[in-house]
Amino acid sequence: MSCFRCCHGVSSHGGNIKFAGSCAAVWLLLASSTGFSQQQIDAAKVVGREACGKCHAAELGAWQVSKHGKNAWDLLDHPKAPDFAKSLGIAAGDIKSEKSVCTKCHGTHQQTGGKLVIAKGNSCESCHGGAGGDQGWLTVHSDYGKGAAGTLAELLKQREGEPAAHLATRKAATSKAGMNRAEDAVKIASNCLQCHIVPNEKLIAAGHPSSDKFEFVEWAQGEVRHNFLLDSKENAEVPSLWLASGKGRTAKGRKQLMFVAGQLADLVLSLRIRAGVTSAKRGTLGDLVNDRIDDAIDEVEDAEIDELAPVLAIMKENKIKKSTLKKTTPGDKELYSGAADAVQAVADAFVAKYKDATGLPASVKPPRKSKGKAFKG
């Protein structure tokens, strides 16, 4: 059983998840009865950023000075923090503890020697998935058949001689172990949105911000960017490994793919959240996700991609449009979660077909701006 980030007062000790106070109610409302369950990085699998730094020093360097590396945690000392906490029944003194859901989005829960530890800020595994455990991806992802030990340079040398069959097995095993890779464009964008669309009605009512303007290309191209894998001196525009791993791949195509993936991920998650809200009045979480659904539909329309026509058909079939979104009804749970599942299936097929990001129409125009400045290697 897994819980998700918006739920406060959840602690997981040795795998037993306990609910405290109104948490259970919120969780049931949003997760269990609607099928909406935000993936939560499993603390028991999180090994911590130090383990990554051994081979990914350049990525670690970029991350350390990013807001995820530092400011995200410091926000828990912000003057508004106690009010946000109060809205969820969290005592001011508990804000930085494992009892508080705040630490799931502003920190990283990890199990060290059987004990739950909260690392400050959002670590590598907050985005790429928990890497440890018996079948964890930490050892699998860089094992070219001769074991995963060695320096990055040594491993990358082995990479050049990796047989195609081994590559296929390694990738499948890495995915199965829960790694979010650049290739899985919808998955990695959904993961950002699990923190950035704050899915909690009470927090939103208390004035906690949600990233209304989040757009995957813009937000990943600035201070978050750390594409150093094949060249530790140059922070490539798009993942260097992805670029080197397929025919005809270009940075331009990659950004088009990311843009569409970001819109689809946003649409799916917003529909899932919409399925569980109790109100869609102005200023509520429901209102906020209605706007996101609306915007994402517009972007999908403007993209003019044949493979995405089914998304618009799903909206039409279910009469999902501005006027109907505004009213919450008892049938919402089934309606919106069903639509989310259907869009997810279209999104998965889209990413599988466009894995090289070639052949997307010129009507797909990713933004050129970026959120913050990219770190220089």
Between residue 70 and residue 89, which ones bind ligand HEC under the rule CB under 6 A? 71-72, 75-76, 78, 80-81, 84-85, 88
| CA–CA gap between residue 183 and residue 165 (Å, rounded) | 18
| CA–CA gap between residue 36 and residue 27 (Å, rounded) | 10
- Candidates 132, 136, 139; CA nearest to 111 is 132
285 binds ligand HEC (CB under 6 A): no
Least Cβ distance, residue 365 to ligand HEC (angstroms): 17
Measured from the CB atom, the residue of 182 and 325 that comes closer to ligand HEC is 182
124 binds ligand HEC (CB under 6 A): yes
Q: Which residue from 226, 249, 272, 274 is in contact with ligand HEC, where contact means CB under 6 A?
A: 226
| CA–CA gap between residue 49 and residue 123 (Å, rounded) | 6
Q: Which stretch binds ligand HEC (CB under 6 A): 10-18, 19-27, 95-103, 355-363?
A: 95-103
CA 229 to chain centre: 20
Q: Which residue from 211, 232, 328, 358 is in contact with ligand HEC, where contact means CB under 6 A?
A: 211
136 binds ligand HEC (CB under 6 A): no
- Using DSSP, state whether 109 is helix, strand or coil: strand
Calculated CA dihedral for residues 91, 280, 259, 302, nearest 10 degrees: -170
- Candidates 243, 248, 213; CA nearest to 370 is 213
- Amino acid (one-letter) located at 291: D
Q: Which stretch binds ligand HEC (CB under 6 A): 20-28, 109-117, 218-226, 305-313?
A: 218-226
292 binds ligand HEC (CB under 6 A): no
Q: Are 377 and 234 in contact (CB under 8 A)?
A: yes
Measured from the CB atom, the residue of 199 and 344 that comes closer to ligand HEC is 199
Q: Which residue from 12, 175, 190, 191 is in contact with ligand HEC, where contact means CB under 6 A?
A: 191
| CA–CA gap between residue 266 and residue 192 (Å, rounded) | 10
Look up residue 370 and give its two tokens: 């970026």
5 binds ligand HEC (CB under 6 A): yes
236 binds ligand HEC (CB under 6 A): yes
Q: Which residue from 45, 68, 249, 272 is in contact with ligand HEC, where contact means CB under 6 A?
A: 68
Q: Which residue from 34, 36, 43, 63 is in contact with ligand HEC, where contact means CB under 6 A?
A: 63
